[in-house]
Copies of this chain bind each other. A is one copy, B any other.
Amino acid sequence: MWLDNLVVPSFLQVLEFIGTFAFAISGIRLASAKEFDWFGAYVVGVSTAIGGGTIRDLLLGVPTFWMTNPIYLICSGLALLWMILFGKVLIHLNNTFFVFDSIGLALFTVVGVEKSLDLGFPLWVAVVMGAITGAAGGVIRDVFINEIPLIFRKEIYAIACVMGGLIYGFCLYCGFNIVVTQCISGSVVFLIRLVVVKYEICLPILKHS
């Protein structure tokens, strides 16, 4: 289990659980807007939560992370249960879920970068893998609900992952401790995401030619 490589596993596992839950909720919410049944909503939720890490592991050529521990599938199941029971309550919790989602994004990015570096890949590959871990689940979600992926048009999302990955490399280059590096890198992802949403910062649209 790669989590064994991380310091303070219990705290990180709690964060990872929160991130998985928040990612699954984002998938299930969008699925419910398309009148998916419970099973379909679950598949979209679980794909959002584990899709990025699955693509990363396939590209890195290592065993798929969620097949070593059922916690990810269980966590997505709890997210479905939550939405069935408290779906309407959720409307008032938008900000809370946005924070959770951003925590998930930050953590997934750090995990993706670290796992790639541990396997001996160069930093530029690790940065790409961090972005894929954080953002590819949302792309799969949008393909499943038959929409153009949100992150391609409106949201600065994967850019936050890329910045976090570059900062990760910079901290390592400066000789920082691994825990400090993880905290700084994750915080950068989290803060960029917060600032970007609060000030509605967008990337330029590519003009149609």
Contact of A207 with B32 at beta-carbon distance under 8 Å, contacts A44-B152, A148-B145, A153-B40 already known: yes
Which residue of chain B has its CB nearest to the CB of A57?
Answer: B59
A206's contact among B38, B64, B207, by CB below 8 Å, is which? B38
* Cβ of A143 under 8 Å from chain B: yes
Number of copies of this kind of chain in the complex: 3
A128 and B39 contacting across the interface, CB-CB below 8 Å: no
Interface size on A, residues (CB 8 A): 57
Q: Quick check: which of A85-93, A98-106, A184-192 contacts chain B, the rest being far away? A: A85-93
Point out the residues of chain B lying under 8 angstroms from A148, CB to CB: 34, 36, 144-146
For residue A158, which residue of chain B has the nearest CB? B39
A selection of 9 A-B contacts at a CB cut-off of 8 Å is A32-B208, A34-B153, A36-B206, A40-B153, A61-B63, A67-B121, A83-B206, A84-B206, A143-B143
